[in-house]
Amino acid sequence: MVRQPDHAMALSSYFPGHGDRAFGVEHYDLSLRYRVTTNWLDGIAVLSVVLAESTADLTLDLGPFRVSGVTVDGAAVRYTHQQGRLRLTLASARPSGTRLAVQVRYAGAPRPVQSVWGGLGWEELTDGALVAGQPIGAPSWFPCNDRPDDKATYRITVSTASAYLVVANGELVERRRAAGATTWVYAQEQPMASYLASVQIGRYRLAGGLACPPGLAARARHDFGRQDAMMTLFADRFGPYPFDRYTVVVTDDELEIPVEAQGLSIFGRNHVDGRRGSERLVAHELAHQWFGNSLTAGHWRDIWLHEGFAAYAEWLWSEESGGPPAAEHARRWHRRLTILPQDFLLADPGPDLLFDDRVYKRGALTVHGLRHELGDQVFFTMLRSWTAEHRHGTVTTETFVSHAQRHTPYPLGPFFSAWLYGPRLP
């Protein structure tokens, strides 16, 4: 039995101002017109909603846009829009299981959602735009049920000046040009959390799954030149790649860190030096397609299931590519973590420490420790069955602990209790 603090099992949210559990969204159809020069977005969003309980009230998350109309099943409904919450009131309560088509027309200058980590979501570039939505940035550009466990399919249509290339999640299913503007239509058929939805707009050239400014192309091709080998390694260790394609975008601006999205990773020009100086980050972002995008934590407290495994993927690539083995990385990081404060729980770090480096590195150490407990053959078999059984779903720490235990007769409770629910580093 894994010992857990009482609050670790609570269904409370780290971000109580986001998301509505009265309903889920099955599909988003987003039609956007964006003017780069003025940072102006006109949007029509159609949400296919299923009620989880009987209600007459629905609340969507949406930033400070001007909402010009809301309909449900084609009929106008009353709504209020304040402090990032768009509240809809139906004429009467509908029973659980009811399906509704909710349409929202909105316009304005998109700006990031403010947080302790800075601005999140839609962000202007020097010449273009990007979306970096994790964890609560999705409302900066479309109305959504902003919960990581409410995954939906998407159709994203973006019209903008023809000088710009648009990259979004999923498959490019249509591109048409008229009067100096080009419309790009992407279909994301695998379910996706709202924070992973993304649009990238820039003066990019796209070739071989790499979109970047022409002046960075040579360096970028070199720096991402071993990505196919990473894909082969991770498919062997983690199971088949879970999506139809994978695209890397390199912006012409510098970014503090790379950005994760479903089927996409976004890097800044500062991550491209022609010497593969950021290759560990290339591995990290690719691994998120399994851990974070296909398997998405249902509660943000379980973010170690994303970042711990992605950080460990860096170590796996290191030992595969001739660098230090994972065990050496583990020893080095264990020494570093022992001198840092021992004041958080890996399986419930709290919202302020969500992206603390200790979550990443203690998470990776936990994964490595489990590999040592199980042995390589059982460990990687367990990992491949984990990604297969929960493909395109949501996961929790408790689910993972139970899954790992099924692969060994030896009790793993003491191991997980110490690493996940004890503040002191084992």
pTM of the model: 0.96
Residue whose structure tokens are 């001739």: 322
| pLDDT number for residue 424 | 96
3-state secondary structure of 145: coil
Structure confidence at residue 2 as a pLDDT band (50, 70, 90): low
With respect to CATH, is domain 204-278 assigned 3.10.20.90? no
- 104-153 per-position pLDDT tens digit: 999 999 999 999 999 999 999 999 999 999 999 999 999 999 999 999 99
As a whole number of angstroms, the distance between CA 61 and CA 195 comes to 12
57 backbone φψ class: left, alpha, beta (φ>0; ψ -120 to 50): beta
Q: Which two tokens stand for residue 275?
A: 């010497």
As a whole number of angstroms, the distance between CA 21 and CA 34 comes to 31
Contact 183, 235 (CB under 8 A): no
| pLDDT number for residue 100 | 98
As a whole number of angstroms, the distance between CA 28 and CA 210 comes to 26
Domain spans of the chain, in order of start: 19-202, 204-278, 296-421
| pLDDT number for residue 368 | 98
Mean pLDDT of the chain: 96
* CA nearest to 261, candidates 83, 374, 134, 352: 134
| pLDDT number for residue 81 | 98
Structure confidence at residue 13 as a pLDDT band (50, 70, 90): confident
Q: Which two tokens stand for residue 386?
A: 């984990």
| pLDDT number for residue 402 | 98
Contact 129, 36 (CB under 8 A): yes
Q: May I ask the CATH architecture of the domain 19-202?
A: Sandwich (2.60)
Structure confidence at residue 214 as a pLDDT band (50, 70, 90): very high
As a whole number of angstroms, the distance between CA 36 and CA 129 comes to 8
Domain 296-421, CATH: 1.10.390.10
As a whole number of angstroms, the distance between CA 30 and CA 140 comes to 14
Average of pLDDT values for 66-87?
97
Q: Which two tokens stand for residue 406?
A: 């099924």
